[in-house]
């Protein structure tokens, strides 16, 4: 069971890294980091197409990563 969870955790980790790297950057530099939150908050930039898919996939993979990490630590005992 522990080996299966570790294997799944490695696969999800690699997939999460790949999905994050594939996402296009929305802003550049420090000024973009400051104003980027306001654009997201007020909905000026809406993700469409592949950006939306990558965003949703990132959320799903991060939840899986968190759950698998907890499961590995629980079943290690």
Domain ranges of the chain: 1-20+46-77
The pTM score is 0.71
Higher per-residue pLDDT: 36 or 27: 27
d(CA 56, CA 72): 24
Spatial CB neighbours of 64, under 8 Å, sequence gap ≥ 6: 12
- What is the percent of the chain where pLDDT is above 70? 70
User: Cβ(68)–Cβ(12) under 8 Å?
Assistant: yes
Structure confidence by residue, pLDDT tens digits, 31-63? 555 555 555 555 555 557 888 899 999 999 999
Rounded CA separation 10/13 (Å): 5
């Amino acid at each position: 069971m522990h080996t299966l969870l570790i294997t799944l955790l490695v696969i999800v980790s690699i997939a999460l890294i790949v999905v994050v790297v594939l996402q296009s950057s929305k802003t550049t530099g420090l000024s973009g980091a400051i104003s980027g939150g306001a654009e997201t908050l007020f909905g000026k930039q809406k993700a469409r197409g592949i950006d939306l898919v990558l965003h949703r996939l990132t959320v799903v993979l991060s939840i899986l990563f968190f759950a698998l990490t907890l499961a590995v630590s629980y079943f290690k005992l």
